[in-house]
Chains A and B, each alone.
Chain A
Amino acid sequence: MAYVIALTSGGGVPLFTRTIGDYEALPFPTVGSLNGVHMFTETHGAKLLSTRTQNAKIVWQVFNDSITIIIVTVDDGASDVHLKTLLQFIYNAMSIYFLIDKLLEESLLIGHITGCLDTTAFTDIDVLQDCLEAFVGWCNTEFGCVLINGKLAASTTRWWNLPSTDSILLSLLISAMVHSASKDIAIYLPATFPDVPHRLMTFQILDGVEVCVLCGSTPSHNEVLQNQILDSYWRSCIDILKNDMRNAPKVLPPSITLDFGILGRKCLATFVRALSNFTGIDDSAAIDMDENIIDEDNTPVETYMCSDEYKLHALHKKNYQCFIMFSKDVPVYALRSVLSSTCYMDIQYLKFNTWVEMNMLVRAENMNVRAL
């Protein structure tokens, strides 16, 4: 559950409120008080960042000196970093309410939490990439991608190089909209094109497989749909896609065996993409768990959490992130070594299995492990 309230910073005029979960909307006097206490501290030269009640947490953030966004949510014991990131995403998604709701609801997409675009593995990436490049070329643009069940399976270099805010919001926007065969919507990308609207066109070529392009005024939506264009550009990979969809989800590559204490894990790593070739993680990124848990900038790179039902351990380095959920029976002192060996296997796998590289790769930007 959560409440989100946006107001003008100067006058406290409400811009919008969102209520997620089966709760009554916040009464106007409560909204007024929440904003009032923030303004009161400002006028006294102090900064009100967050507070906790018995079971809730409230975080305030001012954007551009003009808009204050307040979030009230269940206190999950985590630090404010995650909520601050969430507020930043909400600010960037501000004119699209269903996108804000999507950010606040539970979802299979976690890009807005990890700061990395959600990706998925695909067996024959070369064929898919070729189809995409050809289709995007016909559309006279450089931005295009293929989403499988909302997660990125292939993309052009320009799409891949979009700032993570933009690419994560794009994926979320597409999955938040009503299921449809095709879409043509005008969008502003908060980091890349904040002032110029672009057309986002998506085509669901198979149920669950969406081809997306960002383009200007041409080609028209009907040109793509009516002239067998999709058929001629995508026919060659339809069978492979169908086959892959049938065998999804691929949770683990067959060569990796997991420790029995692991309930779930996610390993994200960054590769540098140069044209159509990938360069793998260099050796300096090899896992060295003897390092301190704080890096040179005094930023923590590892964290763990123990609850009654499970234990969590997270590792965040420049090039990769690894999140593991352990059974509660695994002793705390073993968490690091199990994480180390699992993460090592994952990274080695990514390094030597080129077909899967693109899919498992994600950029880790502005991510702070304290958020976990």
Chain B
Amino acid sequence: MAGKQLTSMPVNYCTSRSMMELSPGKLIEHDWYESNQGREFFNCLLRKQKRRQFGVLERPTFPLGMSSEIQSYKLFLYGKAGVGKTSLICKLCGLDIPQIHHETPGLQTSTIYWPAKLVNSNEVITFKFILYDVGEFALKKYNHFLPACIEKVDAVIFTFSFVDRASFDDLTNSVDNLALPEKSTLKIVVGTKYPILTSRS
């Protein structure tokens, strides 16, 4: 179950740093999590069928013979208040999605470990994604949050909501105007609340 959640996100951005040298196409095996080896890896990340939460000073331990290099990436979620940035992170981290919306009062980071097998290689890499999430109000009111989020960031996830037209219209502006320290920073767009849209129609 956790594996399915994980593969629902685009995974090619692991190449952001060396994107120029690579040809487009898939770089990891998308159905690897269903294989025996994949299951063993994911079992190390689960506790009672839910994703285990790791503290800052913890990391997943894999059994002997199942070594895996950990590659760390910093991702910043950017988008209008209420589009569902925090809920998206909860979903990815295997946490319960908050039932009632409330504005995130500042900056919070979440860590997610995600093993994947590269195409044409036996190597299993464990991606460590550190997701930065700031409430829109806090981001505008205090000026120390934005620098904290974009410093050494590997990718920015621009979020819009399928049930909020304005959040989609703002997207072009946000992508163009967010001043990132490096031009090569990968930009990803994620739409949220699609099930709400489909259930309405």
What residues make up the interface of A, taking CB atoms closer than 8 Å to B? 96-98, 101, 177-187, 200, 203-209, 217, 220-222, 225-226, 230-231, 234-235, 238
B55-A204 in contact (CB<8A): yes
Contact A205 B106, beta carbon cutoff 8 Å: no
- The interface bits of chain B over 102-125 (1 if a CB of A lies within 8 angstroms of the residue's CB, else 0) are 101111111100000000000000
**Contact call B105/A178, Cβ cutoff below 8 A:** no
A226–B109 Cα gap in the complex (Å)? Answer: 13
Residues of B within 8 A of A (CB): 52-58, 86, 89-90, 93, 95, 98, 100, 102, 104-111, 130, 133, 138, 141-142, 144-145, 147-148, 151-152
B93 CB contacts on chain A under 8 angstroms? 179
A-B contact pairs, 26 of them (CB 8 A): A97-B102, A177-B108, A178-B89, A179-B95, A180-B110, A181-B55, A181-B56, A181-B130, A182-B109, A183-B109, A184-B106, A184-B107, A184-B148, A186-B142, A200-B106, A204-B55, A205-B56, A206-B57, A206-B58, A217-B144, A220-B147, A221-B107, A221-B148, A225-B56, A225-B109, A238-B57
B110 touches which of A101, A181, A187, A221 (Cβ 8 Å):
A181
Chain B proximity of A8: nearest CB distance (Å): 22
* Complex contact A101–B100 (CB within 8 A): yes
Closest chain B residue to A238, Cβ basis: B57
Interchain CB contact under 8 A, B107 and A185: yes
Give A234 to B57 CA distance when docked, in angstroms.
Answer: 9
Contact, CB under 8 Å: B148 / A235:
no
For the complex of A and B, list the 3 residue pairs with the smallest distance between their C-beta atoms, beginning with the closest.
Answer: A185-B106, A206-B55, A180-B108
Chain B positions within 8 Å of A235 at CB level: 57
* Minimum CB–CB distance for B44 against chain A, Å: 15
The reply to whether B56 and A183 contact each other, CB–CB distance below 8 Å, is: no
The reply to whether A183 and B108 contact each other, CB–CB distance below 8 Å, is: yes
CB neighbours of B111 from chain A (8 A): 181
User: B56 to A182, Cβ gap below 8 A?
Assistant: yes
In the bound assembly, the distance between CA atoms of A32 and B90 in angstroms comes to 38
Q: In the complex the two chains form, what is the Cα distance from A231 to B58 in whole Å?
A: 10
Secondary structure at chain A's binding surface: helix, strand, loop or mixed? mixed
Instruction: Find A178's partner among B56, B86, B147, B152 (CB 8 Å cutoff).
Output: B86
> A207 CA to B60 CA in the complex, in Å?
12
* Neighbouring A residues of B107 by C-beta, 8 Å: 183-185, 221
Please give, as numbers and ranges, the residues of chain A lying within 8 Å of B105 by CB-CB distance.
96, 177, 185-187
Please, which residues of chain B bring their CB within 8 A of the CB of A98? 100, 102
Q: How far is the CB of A216 from chain B (nearest CB, A)?
A: 11
Which residues on the B side are within 8 Å of A206 (C-beta)?
55, 57-58
Q: Which residues of A contact B56 (CB under 8 A)?
A: 181-182, 203-205, 225, 230
Q: How far is the CA of A181 from the CA of B55 in the complex (A)?
A: 6
Most buried by A among B147, B148, B152: B148
Closest residue of chain B to A210 (Cβ to Cβ) is B55
Name B108's contact: one of A101, A178, A187 (CB within 8 Å): A178
From B55, B110, B111, B142, residue with most partner A Cβ within 10 Å: B55
Are B108 and A222 in contact, CB atoms less than 8 angstroms apart?
A: no
Task: Knowing A178-B86, A181-B110, A186-B106 are in contact, say whether A207-B148 is a contact too (CB < 8 A).
Answer: no
* A230 to B148 alpha-carbon distance, docked (Å): 17
| Interchain CA distance A101-B102 in the complex, whole Å | 11
Q: How far is the CB of A95 from chain B (nearest CB, A)?
A: 9
Shortest B82–chain A CB gap in Å is 13
- Chain B's nearest CB lies how many Å from the CB of A317? 38
Contact A207 B108 (CB under 8 A): no
